[in-house]
């Protein structure tokens, strides 16, 4: 006797999407366990995890009306996948990105990493000023910023910028890709970014301690100068030139 799971094309598509969601959650659970047991290396884990997270966000956005709660979906089908729920819903980024400081081979502070952090801060703040507030626009910027902050060993795990970015990434991961931040949320995120940026600059070593500090202070000055004409002209000017000059200056210093 043949039993039909659906009565029409729409129901069939819904159940197929349920099957895809079920498979993604199960695959993520297996991947998390493999990473914890050191069965898969960090690079392969991060690549596969990013794919699963991207597929999950796309599918969860399409199913937001029929599956308003992923946790409830997992309970309904008795999935028992706590690691996957944490990675897909709560965290929204691979464990290697979330804990980059611990996974980094050296964890040393460098002018290039500081430049990367500053650039990611400014890019995120400028995107909000340009009203780029959709989840699929904001989430990648905050993920990049979080990853760059985790590369710096001088920043403690409870550093303001790290904790605030994790909170925002977790919040955005629970929203659909096409959802947009409200005006109040956008304003709060910009405030958190600006506050974290100021804390970040204050956490850098003083200019008396090393040549690196001079580079960091010089770059910070370049960034502060660059933000004024950017706002006035409403033109997005990346920091690539500043970073290249910083790297060139570093190379000349080592050559001497």
83 contact partners, CB below 8 Å, separation of at least 6: 28, 29, 32, 33, 36
Q: Which of 135, 141, 139, 140 is nearest to 122 (CA)?
A: 141
Query: Can you give the pLDDT of all 256 residues of the chain as single tens digits?
Result: 565 666 778 888 888 999 999 999 999 999 999 999 999 998 899 999 999 999 999 999 889 888 989 999 999 999 999 999 999 998 888 998 877 645 454 444 567 888 899 999 999 999 999 999 999 999 999 999 999 998 887 888 889 999 999 999 999 988 888 899 999 999 999 999 999 999 998 888 764 334 444 444 555 554 444 443 333 333 334 444 444 544 454 444 434 4
Task: Yes or no: say if 182 and 139 are a contact pair by the CB < 8 Å rule.
Answer: no
Cα gap 253→98, rounded to integer Å: 34
Residue 180 pairs in a beta bridge with 134
Cα gap 229→119, rounded to integer Å: 16
Cα gap 29→84, rounded to integer Å: 5
What residue ranges do the domains of the chain occupy? 9-97, 106-255
Q: Which of 92, 171, 176, 192 is nearest to 134 (CA)?
A: 176
Task: Yes or no: say if 93 and 162 are a contact pair by the CB < 8 Å rule.
Answer: no
Q: DSSP H helical segments within 89-239, as ranges?
A: 95-98, 100-103, 111-129, 135-149, 160-173, 183-203, 211-233
pLDDT of residue 229: 38
pLDDT of residue 71: 92
The pTM assigned to this predicted structure is: 0.50
Cα gap 171→182, rounded to integer Å: 13
Cα gap 253→215, rounded to integer Å: 11
What is the CATH architecture of 9-97?
Up-down Bundle (1.20)
CATH 1.20.120.1130 fits 106-255, yes or no: yes
């Amino acid at each position: 006797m043949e039993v039909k799971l659906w009565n029409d094309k729409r129901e069939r598509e819904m159940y197929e999407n349920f099957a895809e969601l079920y498979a993604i959650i199960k695959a993520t659970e297996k991947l998390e366990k493999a990473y914890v047991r050191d069965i898969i290396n960090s690079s392969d884990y991060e690549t596969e995890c990013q794919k699963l997270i991207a597929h999950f966000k796309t599918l969860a956005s399409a199913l937001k009306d029929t599956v308003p709660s992923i946790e409830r979906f997992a309970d309904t089908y008795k999935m028992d996948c706590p690691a996957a729920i944490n990675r897909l819903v709560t965290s929204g980024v691979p464990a290697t990105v979330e804990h980059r400081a611990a996974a980094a081979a050296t964890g040393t502070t460098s002018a290039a990493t500081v430049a990367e952090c500053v650039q990611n801060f400014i890019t995120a703040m400028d995107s909000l000023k340009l009203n780029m507030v959709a989840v699929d626009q904001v989430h990648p910027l905050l993920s990049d910023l979080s990853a760059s902050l985790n590369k710096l060993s001088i920043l403690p795990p409870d550093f303001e910028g790290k904790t605030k970015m994790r909170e925002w990434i977790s919040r955005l991961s629970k929203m659909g890709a096409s959802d947009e931040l409200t005006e109040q949320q956008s304003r709060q995120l910009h405030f958190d970014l600006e506050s974290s940026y100021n804390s970040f600059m204050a956490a850098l070593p003083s200019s008396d301690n090393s040549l690196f500090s001079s580079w960091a202070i010089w770059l910070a000055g370049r960034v502060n100068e660059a933000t004024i004409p950017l706002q006035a002209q409403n033109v997005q000017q990346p920091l690539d030139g500043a970073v290249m000059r910083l790297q060139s200056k570093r190379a000349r210093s080592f050559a001497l």
